[in-house]
Structure 1
Amino acid sequence: MNLDMWVTCFVASWIFSLSPGAGSVFSMTNGLNYGFKRGYFGVIGLVLGLWIVFLAVVVGLGAIIQASPLAFNILKWAGVAYLFYLGLDQWRSKGSPVKVKEEHGTPVSIMSLIAKGVALNVVNPKGYIFMLAVIPQFIEYSAPLTPQYLIIAMTFAFTDLVVMAGYTGLAAKALVYLKTEAHMSMLNKVFGALFMAAAMVLATFHQVHQVS
């Protein structure tokens, strides 16, 4: 993976991690109910779950690459189209205010928090579709694949650990910006625009890469 491709991957990973979703709500819930030190173990579970999804998708991609490089390139362009559609759909969505359930009582165990984080990502079918669209954008099939997979996995894990730390530690403050329909509509437009921009950048990057 060349530097330009990795920088694109790094920037995209921040957009994906920052976009409000199930992981951010889970992290804020844990932060409010258990505090940062204990709640952050849920983030570790999220990343472990992310790696499981990543591995499952990578195994499938490996089979596609071996079967047909053309099919892999078609998949890359389909991923660009999907990311643009995802951004457009998010831009048009008003969104619902985020609701976090505050619980009082005996703190949940660390292992339970980790397990919940793992399950949240592993059982979500949207995660597999999203990864299937994203991962091929940063893979050069003619180069060794394993190092590229490791770089992408570590990049996404790093940004997730940082972003979810923010959601966990600053849960109360973050919720202020996620509690009204107006706020969510604004955020959806921001991240929808970022997804569409990312898709267009990737399309341009592919064209330049193919020409070169």
Structure 2
Amino acid sequence: MISPPAIAVVPLATYYMIMSITPGPNNVMLTTSGATFGFGRTLPHVSGIVSGCALQTFLLCIGFGVVFVYFPWLQGVLKWCGAAYLIYLAYKLVGARVAKAKAVAKPLTFFDAAFFQVVNPKAWVKAITTATLFLPPGTSAWAAGVRIFTICALVNFVSGSIWTSFGVGIGKLLTNEFRLSVFNAAMALLLIGTAIIVVV
């Protein structure tokens, strides 16, 4: 007979994959990074997202979500900070000449990507709903949190790798400065659109 925690793995992994692989700020940035820097140089970015999102979910599982109960205004602050950061990234994509940008630009670091999850609204929605729906009642929050952390990390790595690979494929088509400029502009518009959705 399968134990209840084992049964919960499949719906948890399925739900988290749906939340992770659908378009959002992380996936737009991974696509852009994959197209610009390739898969290997984007791996720290992927790893930062994986660690940041999984840790976020773990902390909510063990009770840190109570912070939002006592300080509900924090959600609004994080929302606006996230929107501002997305607009800043959009500006960086189109605010400089492509040739110059390629010469000096660097992919997002592990810590940059991990810290971005603090102000990433989609990451908070994903973490809150995961902790709420899949934390088994009557079990140790720490033990369940570690299990959920592991599943979320694995799923996020797969999702992030898919979007990065998608970007790498697109990058092979960006053979001149004009095409790269158009691609960067399209990604910037997606980031701005996401920022608007976040605050509306």
After TM superposition, the score normalised by the length of structure 1 is: 0.57
Q: Determine if the alignment matches structure 1 residue 150 to structure 2 residue 146.
A: yes
Please list every run of 5 or more consecutive structure 2 residues that lacks an aligned counterpart in the other structure.
Answer: 68-89, 174-182, 191-200
Tell me the number of residue pairs that the alignment of Structure 1 and Structure 2 aligns.
143
What code does the residue aligned with 1:115 have? F
Which deviates the most, 141-150 or 122-131? 122-131
Q: Residue by residue, what CA displacement relative to the aligned partner does 1:35-91 show, whole Å, maximum 9, x if unpaired?
A: 110112101111121133224323436869xxxxxxxxxxxxxxxxxxxxxxxxxxx
Equivalent residue, structure 1, for 2:40: 37
After TM superposition, the score normalised by the length of structure 2 is: 0.60
Deviation (angstroms), 1:104: 0.9
Equivalent residue, structure 2, for 1:104: 102
CA distance in 2: counterparts of 1:62 and 1:53, whole angstroms: 10
Q: Write out aligned runs for 1:6-155 (5 A).
A: 6-60=9-63, 101=93, 103-108=101-106, 112-155=108-151
CA distance in 2: counterparts of 1:140 and 1:166, whole angstroms: 30
Q: Write out aligned runs for 1:181-192 (5 A).
A: none
Aligned CA RMSD, in angstroms, stands at 3.2
Please list every run of 5 or more consecutive structure 1 residues that lacks an aligned counterpart in the other structure.
Answer: 65-98, 185-212
Q: Write out aligned runs for 1:188-203 (5 A).
A: none
* Percentage of matched positions with identical amino acids: 19
What code does the residue aligned with 2:154 have? F
Deviation (angstroms), 1:162: 1.1
CA distance in 2: counterparts of 1:131 and 1:118, whole angstroms: 14
